[in-house]
Amino acid sequence: MFDAAEKEFGGIDVVVNSAGRLSLSPIADLDLDDLDALHRTNIRGTFVTAREAARRVRHGGTIITMSTSVVGLQLPTYGAYVASKGAVEAMTLVLARELRGRQITVNAVAPGPTATELFLDGKDETTVERMAKQPPLERLGTPEDIAEVVAFLASPAGHWINGQVVRANGGIV
C-alpha cells in the first residue's frame, strides 16, 4: 500500500489508520481467540501501519490513528476493546515524540458513539437510542463528523496539534 501511494503520488503526506475490530464480552467470559484477533487488528495493525508511516511520511506530514472515547467511559463488556485502544493511544503519543524534528504531527481521534456498521452491529434499537442520548448534543455522531476532525488534523490549520487524543464525541465526559 505504501509503495503504491509513493509511486502514484510521489510521496506520502498523510496516513490515517482506521482499521478496527470490536468484541464485546465481560472480561471473565472473553474467549482468548477473540482477544487475540481483536489485538491483532487494533494493536498490531496500528503498530505496523505507524511503523511504516514513520519511515515514509514526508517532512511536514501527518499520521492519525483511531481510538475510542470508550477508553474514558470504561463501559462493561468493552474491556478487550478498551485495552487495545488504550495501547493505540499510548503508541500514538510515543510516536509523536519519536518524530521530533521532522515536523510530522501524530494524533489519535477517539470517536464517541457514531452511526457506523461497527457501532450498530449487535445493538438493539433501545440500546442505540440510550447511547445516542449520552452526549449533550443528544445524537449519534456521523461518519462525516469524524471525517471532519481527521481532515482538520491533516490540514495546515491543525498542524499545531501534536501528540494528542482528540475525543470527538459530542461532549461525553
Instruction: Please report, for the domain that includes residue 57, its CATH number.
Output: 3.40.50.720
At residue 41, the pLDDT reads 97
Is residue 62 in a domain? yes
Q: What is the pTM of this model?
A: 0.94
**Residue 95 CA: distances (Å) to CA of 75, 80, 114:** 27, 23, 27
Is residue 8 in a domain? yes
At residue 173, the pLDDT reads 74
Q: Which residues of 32-67 are buried (b: 16+ CB within 10 A; e: fewer)?
A: eeebeebbebbbebbbebbebbbeebeeebbbbbbb
Is residue 69 in a domain? yes
Q: Which of 22, 63, 81, 82 is catalytic?
A: 81
Is residue 80 in a domain? yes
At residue 117, the pLDDT reads 87
Known active-site residue 78:
no
At residue 166, the pLDDT reads 98
Can you give the residue range of the structural domain that contains 89? 2-166
Question: How far is the C-alpha of 2 from the C-alpha of 116, rounded, in Å?
Answer: 26
At residue 25, the pLDDT reads 96
Half-sphere exposure of 108 (CA within 13 A, CB side): 27
Is residue 172 in a domain? no
At residue 34, the pLDDT reads 96
Q: How many domains does the chain have?
A: 1
Is residue 173 in a domain? no
How far, in whole angstroms, is CA 157 from its chain's centroid? Answer: 20
Cell, residue 122: 449487535
Any long-range contacts for 41-47 (C-beta under 8 Å, 24+ apart)? 42/81, 42/84, 42/85, 42/87, 42/88, 43/84, 43/87, 43/88, 43/91, 45/17, 45/19, 46/17, 46/19, 46/88, 46/91, 47/91
The low-confidence residues of the chain, meaning pLDDT below 50, are none
At residue 121, the pLDDT reads 86
At residue 118, the pLDDT reads 81
